[in-house]
Structure 1
Amino acid sequence: MAGGPRRAIPDGAADPAHAAGDLRGLFSFVRRQDLLTLKSLAERGYLTPAVDSTYPLAEAPAAIRRLKEGHPHGKVVVLTVTPDA
């Protein structure tokens, strides 16, 4: 189990391959202070998103194929704007 005793989440529950529909039932509650703490951590650069790969919008079908391959090691991102070089 992950998440500690108050917010126990079965291992693998967040894995889409094991999820069955709506995941809201996994979380008992969300506290305002928890969200403010996450916001502060993000603003100070302490959170780093796990990105498996990025694709321009024109290559969205390739991004979907990557997801269907299974087990990406992070998020598969489709860019809707061109990042500044």
Structure 2
Amino acid sequence: MDVKLFINDNINGKIVEKRLMEVVTDLGIEAHVEILHNHSSDVDGIFYTPTLIVNNQVISSGKVLSKEEMSSFFVNPVTFIR
């Protein structure tokens, strides 16, 4: 599984990053997790942060997701949170 998280270097970005890493660990997900900060050259087309992308699909953009919301996606991948 390919997971990308686009964040700003603010408290919300740090919170979502920490929650994502906890969810991946708690659920035992085998994933390549990439954290991309606002100064990254890969942020073309990303207008709101935090943005969570899994397997090239935007799962959520502009929302500080709870661990439960993230977990629900990984358990039931057809659920988009946006």
**Radius of gyration: which is bigger?**
1
Q: TM-score, normalised by structure 2?
A: 0.31
Bigger share in strand: 2
Question: Higher relative contact order by CA 8 Å / sep ≥ 6: 1 or 2?
Answer: 2
